[in-house]
C-alpha cells in the first residue's frame, strides 16, 4: 500500500541521492556514485524520474566530445530502466567565478557567462526530454550591501529571465521555468528571499506564462513561514510548476532533511493541499541522507521520503472520509454562496438587518475538537 510506483510521480536529483555528506565542518563520508548507478537504484525503488544540474552529470571543463559521450551513456541508463528525465537546472553557485552572484553580479561579463552556461544547461535538459527548468539563485545575494544595489539585482534578474525565455522560444523548446527562493545560505542574504517575492516578479516579465515557482519546504521553513500556505497560493494562481519536498527545523541552516522527518502536521497539510488541489506535476525530493549513512542508508532515506508521502496521502484520504470530522466541518464552514461581486451585492446589501454581531462573537467554533480529531487520526488511534 505504501510501495511507490512511477504513477506516483516521485523524482530525485542526482545531487540528492548522490550527496556525499560533506558539510562546512567535515569532509565527505560517502564515496561518489556514478549517475548511471543512481538511475538504476531509482528504478529499483519505484521512483518515476531523475533531475540534474548540468555539472552533476557533465564536468564544467568537459570538452564537447566528452560531454556527448557522458550524455549518451546516461541516456542509455534512462532507456534501459524507463526512468524519466524530468527537470534540469544549472549550477551557478559552485565555481568561484560566481562568488558574488551570476545573473545579478556587478560584472557584466560574468552575467553574460552565467546566461551562456544556463543556455547550455537548457540545451542539455531539452536533449534529455525535460520540460521544466529550475532556477535557484544560490549566489544571487550579498554580505556587503555597500557593494550592491538591490534594485539593480531585481532589474538584472528580470533581464536574464527575459533573455532565457526568448532563447527557449527561439529554439522551439517546450520548456518552462520554475523559480526557487531561499532566504540565505550560501549568501548572507539572498535576493527574492521567499516564494512570494518570485510570484510578485513574474507578472513583470515579458513572458509571464513561461515562468512559475519551485517552492522548497526547507527554505520557507528557514524563514519561519507556513510552507503549505505559499504552495496553496502558487497552485491557486496556476504557478506551481515544480516542488522541492524535504524537511527542516525552523530557524536553522538549510537541513534538506528526509521528507516527513520533522514537521508531521505541516507535511500533512502540504500533502492535503497538493492532493485536494489537483497538483499533477512532479513530486521532487530535494533532500539528502544524514551524514551518518552509508549507501544502504541513502537507499533507506529515498524509500522513506516516498513512503512518508504515501502515508500522509492515505491520512488525507481518511480525513476527507471521516464522518465525524466532515460533520464538524459542515457545521463550522457556512455553505458556499455565489461569488461576492460589487455588481450583485451593493454596499447597502452587504449586511442583513438581523445580523447579530454579539452572537457571532460569543459562538464557539469547535476547533479544539477538530484539531484533536486530526491528532488522533495522524497518530493512528482513530
Q: Which residues are catalytic?
A: 53, 56
DSSP 26: B
Least distance (Å) between residue 161 CB and ligand GCO: 15
Q: Which residue has the CB atom at the shortest distance from ligand GCO?
A: 136
Using CB under 6 A as the criterion, which residues of the chain lie in contact with ligand GCO when the complex forms? 89, 134, 136, 180, 216, 244, 254, 256, 286
Report what 100 binds from ligand GCO, Mn ion, none; CB cut-off 5-8 Å by kind. Answer: none
Residue 177 binds which entry of Mn ion, ligand GCO, none, CB below 5-8 Å type-dependent: none
Only segment of 76-84, 91-99, 248-256, 272-280 that touches Mn ion (CB under 5 A): 248-256
Between residue 57 and residue 116, which ones bind Mn ion under the rule CB under 5 A? none
d(CA 149, CA 155) in angstroms, rounded, equals: 10
| Residue (102 or 316) nearer to Mn ion, CB | 102
Q: Give the nearer residue to ligand GCO in terms of CB position, either 118 or 316.
A: 118
How many positions of this chain bind Mn ion (CB under 5 A)? 6
Is the Cβ of residue 301 or residue 319 nearer to ligand GCO in the bound state? 301
What is d(CA 354, CA 345) in angstroms, rounded to the nearest whole number?
17
β-pair partners for 245: 285
Burial string for 258-293 (b: 16+ CB within 10 Å, else e) reads bbbbbbbebbbbbbbbbeeeebebbbbbbbbbeeeb
Name the minimum Å distance from CB 84 to Mn ion.
Answer: 19
Q: Which one of Mn ion, ligand GCO, none interacts with residue 89, CB within 5 to 8 A by kind?
A: ligand GCO
Which partner in Mn ion, ligand GCO, none is near 220 (CB below 5 to 8 A by kind)?
Answer: none
Q: Cα separations (Å) of 306 from 47, 224, 255, 301?
A: 8, 25, 18, 9
Q: How far is CA 70 from CA 35, 65, 130, in A?
A: 10, 9, 17
> What is the nearest approach in angstroms of ligand GCO to the Cβ of residue 290?
15
Among 54, 56, 140, 216, binds Mn ion (CB under 5 A): 216
DSSP state of 128: T
Q: How far is the CB of 72 from ligand GCO (least distance, A)?
A: 24
> Cβ closer to Mn ion: 56 or 378?
56
Site string for Mn ion, 270-309 (x = CB under 5 A): ----------------x-----------------------
Of residues 83 and 218, the one with the C-beta less far from ligand GCO: 218
CB of 245 to ligand GCO, least distance (A): 11
Residue whose grid cell is 551570476: 102
Of these partners, Mn ion, ligand GCO, none, which one is at the site of residue 52 (CB under 5 to 8 Å by kind)?
none
- State in angstroms the smallest separation of the CB of 183 from Mn ion: 11
Out of 54, 56, 100, 256, which residue is the one contacting Mn ion (CB under 5 A)?
256
d(CA 251, CA 350): 43
216 forms beta bridges with 244
CB of 115 to ligand GCO, least distance (A): 16
* Residue 134 binding result from ligand GCO, Mn ion, none, given CB thresholds of 5 to 8 Å by partner type: ligand GCO
Q: Cα(243)–Cα(86) distance, rounded to whole angstroms?
A: 12
**Cα separation, 370 vs 59, whole angstroms:** 53
Q: Is 218 in the site for Mn ion (CB under 5 A)?
A: yes
Q: With respect to ligand GCO, which residue has the nearer C-beta, 86 or 134?
A: 134
Q: Which is nearer to ligand GCO, 53 or 148 (CB)?
A: 53
Query: How far from each other are the two terminal CA atoms of the chain, in whole angstroms?
Result: 19
Phi/psi class of residue 187: alpha, beta or left (left: φ > 0; alpha: ψ in -120 to 50)? beta
Cell 550527496 appears where?
A: 19
The only residue of 247, 254, 262, 266 in contact with Mn ion, by rule CB under 5 A: 254
Output the DSSP codes for 297-351: HHHHHHHHHHHHHHHHHHHHHHHHH-HHHHHHHHHHSPPP-----TTTS-GGGSS
Beta strands 189-190 and 141-142, pairing class: antiparallel
Please count the other Cβ atoms lying within 10 Å of the Cβ belonging to residue 347: 7
Give Cα 17 to chain centroid, integer Å: 16
Residue ranges in contact with Mn ion by CB under 5 A: 216, 218, 244, 254, 256, 286
Amino acid at each position: 500500500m505504501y510501495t511507490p510506483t512511477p504513477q506516483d510521480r516521485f523524482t530525485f536529483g542526482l545531487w540528492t541521492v548522490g550527496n556525499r555528506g560533506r558539510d562546512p565542518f567535515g569532509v565527505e563520508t560517502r564515496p561518489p556514485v556514478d549517475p548511471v548507478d543512481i538511475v538504476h537504484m531509482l528504478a529499483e525503488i519505484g521512483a518515476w524520474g531523475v533531475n540534474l544540474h548540468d555539472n552533476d552529470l557533465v564536468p564544467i571543463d568537459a570538452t564537447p566530445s566528452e560531454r556527448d559521450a557522458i550524455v549518451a551513456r546516461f541516456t542509455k541508463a534512462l532507456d534501459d530502466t524507463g526512468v524519466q528525465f524530468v527537470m534540469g537546472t544549472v549550477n551557478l553557485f559552485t565555481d568561484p567565478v560566481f562568488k558574488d552572484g551570476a545573473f545579478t553580479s556587478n560584472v557584466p561579463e560574468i552575467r553574460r557567462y552565467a546566461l551562456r552556461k544556463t543556455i547550455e544547461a537548457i540545451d542539455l535538459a531539452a536533449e534529455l526530454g525535460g520540460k521544466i527548468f529550475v532556477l535557484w539563485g544560490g549566489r544571487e545575494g550579498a554580505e556587503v550591501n555597500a557593494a550592491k544595489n538591490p534594485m539593480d539585482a531585481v532589474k538584472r534578474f528580470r533581464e536574464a529571465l527575459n533573455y532565457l525565455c526568448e532563447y527557449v522560444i527561439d529554439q522551439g523548446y517546450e520548456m518552462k521555468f520554475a523559480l526557487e527562493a531561499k532566504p540565505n545560505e550560501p549568501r548572507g542574504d539572498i535576493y527574492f528571499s521567499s516564494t512570494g517575492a518570485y510570484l510578485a516578479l513574474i507578472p513583470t516579465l515579458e513572458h509571464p506564462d513561461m515562468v512559475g515557482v519551485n517552492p522548497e519546504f526547507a527554505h520557507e521553513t528557514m524563514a519561519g513561514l507556513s510552507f503549505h500556505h505559499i504552495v496553496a497560493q502558487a497552485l491557486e494562481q496556476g504557478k506551481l510548476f515544480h516542488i522541492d519536498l524535504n524537511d527542516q527545523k525552523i530557524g536553522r541552516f538549510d537541513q534538506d532533511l528526509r521528507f516527513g522527518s520533522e514537521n508531521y502536521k505541516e507535511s500533512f497539510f502540504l500533502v492535503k493541499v497538493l492532493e485536494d488541489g489537483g497538483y499533477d506535476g512532479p513530486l521532487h525530493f530535494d533532500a539528502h541522507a544524514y551524514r551518518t549513512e552509508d549507501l544502504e542508508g541513502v537507499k533507506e532515506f529515498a524509500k522513506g521520503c516516498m513512503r512518508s508521502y504515501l502515508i500522509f496521502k492515505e491520512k488525507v484520504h481518511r480525513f476527507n472520509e471521516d464522518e465525524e470530522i466532515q460533520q464538524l466541518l459542515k457545521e463550522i464552514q457556512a455553505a458556499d454562496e455565489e461569488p461576492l461581486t460589487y455588481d450583485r451585492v451593493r454596499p447597502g446589501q452587504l449586511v442583513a438587518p438581523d445580523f447579530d454581531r454579539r452572537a457571532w462573537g460569543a459562538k464557539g467554533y469547535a476547533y479544539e475538537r477538530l484539531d484533536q480529531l486530526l491528532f488522533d487520526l495522524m497518530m493512528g488511534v482513530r
